[in-house]
Amino acid sequence: MNGSNRIDYKLLVRVLALAKPYRLVILLAGVLAIALAPIATLRPYLVQLMVDDYIFQGDMPGLTRMALLFVGVLFVESALRYFFIYATNWLGQSVIRDLRVRVFNHISSLRLTYFDRTPIGTSTTRTINDIETINTVFSQGVITIVADLLTLFAVFGIMLIISWKLTLVCLTTLPFLMAGTYIFKEKVKAAYQIVRTQIATMNAFLQERITGMRTVQIFNVERQEMEKFKKINRKYTQANLNSILYYAIFFPFVEVVSAAALGLMVWYGARGVIANEVSLGILIAFPLYLNMLFRPMRMLADKFNTLQMGLVAAERVFKILDRKDKIENKGTIEPEKLKGAVSFKNVWFAYSARDYVLKNLSFDIKEGETLAIVGDTGSGKTTITNILNRFYEIQKGSIEIDGVNIRDYELLSLRKRIAIVLQDVFLFSGSVLQNITLRDENISREEVIEAAQMIGAHEFIERLPGGYDYEVMERGATLSMGQRQLISFVRALVFNPDILILDEATSSIDPETESVIQYAIEQLIAKRTSIIIAHRLSTIRHADNILVLQKGEIREFGPHNELLQIENGHYKDLYEMQFLQMETS
């Protein structure tokens, strides 16, 4: 909405289009809104009739019938209002339920560059808080605004018919109310926009700090982080207090204006009763009409703000849905199995602009071979695995698997045949079994146990309280690095990939655990194409070929023994620094 004071009607139409699957509910809410407007005006009109035609005429049986009619009208109005409120809220909840699924599905399909540049807390705010705010467009926005406007017109029309002079007298305070309403609407809208911004800032801060609490405590920066949080919290609180302040001023102001209108009505109406120009029934009914007139007018300003805030939230959500940085999935080949021959041909890749991380990279991995990749930090080792899985798209060159360009494979089918074991293993809240299968119902407990036994992880898992049903805390906080790594190995094996990637999977493992991990690796890479990225050269000596990277370019390529023969070779230097020192120690 870009700070505009006007409602963005194109955006509003787009939001309302989200409710297309629920046309019948919209129709029901519209019919109820139309029906409520005239029914709401019946109550004060019945009061007027009861006073003028029955009380002063002494017609008690007639008065009883009118009283019963009054109760019946009240019951019907209450029932219709109940269904109206329920229908509009049900509609809002249904729309945001569908929208949450749509946004989550879209976010999960975005390229990793989005997650590299967007704080997790911001995405969380869009998926939870902002979508929840869109609910108000339906539950408290368009339909209820239309219902209130219909009621206003109906009440105003009845008042003019009954006594146009008395109506005009009552409305002399209307300009003050309209001016106050406009000021209130603009002030609250600005305050709400700040509130939404501060919520996103707070969510991003908390998500990052709570996730990194170990680092915060290790470096004793709790006090500094608390001071930062206090500043964010104060800004968020102040934004809320500002909006509350405007409500605290506006509602009493409306009460004063409506009281003034009531006073004018009593003053002029009493004179009319004395002069026989206005009946006593009209004088008694008019305060009820005034209340029905001023109450919706008071709430309309708030509802317009609610509508605008819902549209502001919708704009933010649509910005995510409109993002085009998705990995194109135009491939049609869906292999049941890959042989695993990988070929990089003159590949160039940059994360941003033309700052290339990989430069003219060409190499081949034959079916069933193991390629080890070594190099300095930032040389592009992990990038090779990322582009092989199409987490990022290359700018130049081509990557082929089994002689087919990876873009010609259906994306999910391609990734299903490739498994990655990362250095930083991410475990979800749930059992060990669920973390291994990732809740894939096609993988049985027996298959998991067989895979764990194959790589030597079964005994460690069985020792856990509950074994495979042991509940893992968030990110696997209750397990050691080696235990988490073994679980990730079982996870990789149970999905039976054709190409396996180990990205520095042993860099944080203690020497005692390394022998277990090394055995697991040997079982994993057997009979499948494998790519191993490692700092520890002891884990890659037996690879078929070793690729030595430096600043995104191939420095050396070949088997371990051949690379050691290269005078002043980069791999030879690394080997002498690491492995020879270990042998002589």
Do 301 and 387 lie in one domain? The reply is: no
> Would you tell me the crossing angle of helices 142-170 and 280-321 to the nearest 10 degrees?
150
End-to-end CA distance of the chain: 68
The verdict on residue 335 lying in a domain is: no
Q: How many domains does the chain have?
A: 2
Pairing relationship of beta strands 529-533 and 499-503 according to DSSP bridges: parallel
The verdict on residue 518 lying in a domain is: yes
- Domain containing 409 equals 342-584
556-579 per-residue burial string, b: 16 or more CB within 10 A, e: under 16: bbbebeebeeeeebbbbebbeeee
Whether the Cβ atoms of residue 470 and residue 428 lie closer than 8 Å to each other = no
Do 198 and 169 lie in one domain? The reply is: yes
Do 449 and 577 lie in one domain? The reply is: yes
**Distance in angstroms (rounded) separating the CA atoms of residues 119 and 473:** 23
Residue 238: alpha-carbon gap to chain centroid: 25
Dihedral pair phi/psi, residue 334, rounded to 5°: -120, 85
Residues 6 or more apart whose Cβ sits within 8 Å of residue 110: 323, 325, 326
Q: Among 404, 279, 388, which Cα is nearest to 327's?
A: 388
User: What is the predicted pLDDT for the residue at 3?
Assistant: 44
The verdict on residue 290 lying in a domain is: yes
Place of tokens 């791999």: 571
Do 317 and 377 lie in one domain? The reply is: no
Residues 6 or more apart whose Cβ sits within 8 Å of residue 78: none
Do 215 and 254 lie in one domain? The reply is: yes
The verdict on residue 333 lying in a domain is: no
Do 266 and 380 lie in one domain? The reply is: no
The verdict on residue 247 lying in a domain is: yes
Q: CATH number for the domain including 416?
A: 3.40.50.300
pLDDT, tens digit only, all 585 positions of the chain: 444 445 678 888 899 899 999 999 999 999 998 998 888 888 888 888 888 888 877 788 888 888 899 899 999 999 999 999 999 999 999 999 999 999 988 888 888 777 777 777 777 778 888 888 888 888 887 888 888 888 888 888 888 888 888 888 888 888 888 888 888 877 877 787 788 788 888 888 887 888 788 788 887 888 888 999 999 999 889 888 888 888 888 888 888 888 888 888 888 888 888 877 778 888 888 888 888 888 777 777 778 778 888 888 888 899 888 888 778 888 899 988 899 999 999 999 998 777 899 999 999 999 989 999 988 888 888 899 889 989 888 999 999 999 999 999 999 899 889 988 887 778 888 888 988 888 888 888 998 898 888 878 888 888 888 889 988 876 666 787 778 888 888 888 888 889 988 887 665 555 556 666 677 777 777 778 989 887 666 667 778 899 999 888 999 999 988 888 888 888 888 777 765 555 544
**Distance in angstroms (rounded) separating the CA atoms of residues 258 and 177:** 9
User: What is the predicted pLDDT for the residue at 536?
Assistant: 67
Do 299 and 359 lie in one domain? The reply is: no
* Dihedral sign of CA atoms 436, 438, 440, 441 in order: positive
Do 540 and 579 lie in one domain? The reply is: yes
- Domain final residue pick, 321, 356, 380: 321
Looking at the whole model, is its pTM more than 0.75?
no
Do 267 and 353 lie in one domain? The reply is: no
The one-letter code for the residue type at 124 is T
Q: CATH number for the domain including 306?
A: 1.20.1560.10
The verdict on residue 6 lying in a domain is: no
User: What is the predicted pLDDT for the residue at 2?
Assistant: 46
Do 100 and 237 lie in one domain? The reply is: yes
Whether the Cβ atoms of residue 368 and residue 529 lie closer than 8 Å to each other = yes
User: What is the predicted pLDDT for the residue at 574?
Assistant: 79
- Domain final residue pick, 321, 356, 383: 321
The verdict on residue 328 lying in a domain is: no
- Domain final residue pick, 288, 321, 354: 321
DSSP conformational letter for 566: S
User: What is the predicted pLDDT for the residue at 7?
Assistant: 64
Whether the Cβ atoms of residue 509 and residue 482 lie closer than 8 Å to each other = yes
Do 364 and 508 lie in one domain? The reply is: yes
Instruction: State the CB neighbour count (10 A cutoff) for residue 28.
Output: 17
Half-sphere exposure of 341 (CA within 13 A, CB side): 7
**Distance in angstroms (rounded) separating the CA atoms of residues 533 and 146:** 63
The verdict on residue 23 lying in a domain is: yes
Do 356 and 314 lie in one domain? The reply is: no
Instruction: State the CB neighbour count (10 A cutoff) for residue 398.
Output: 13
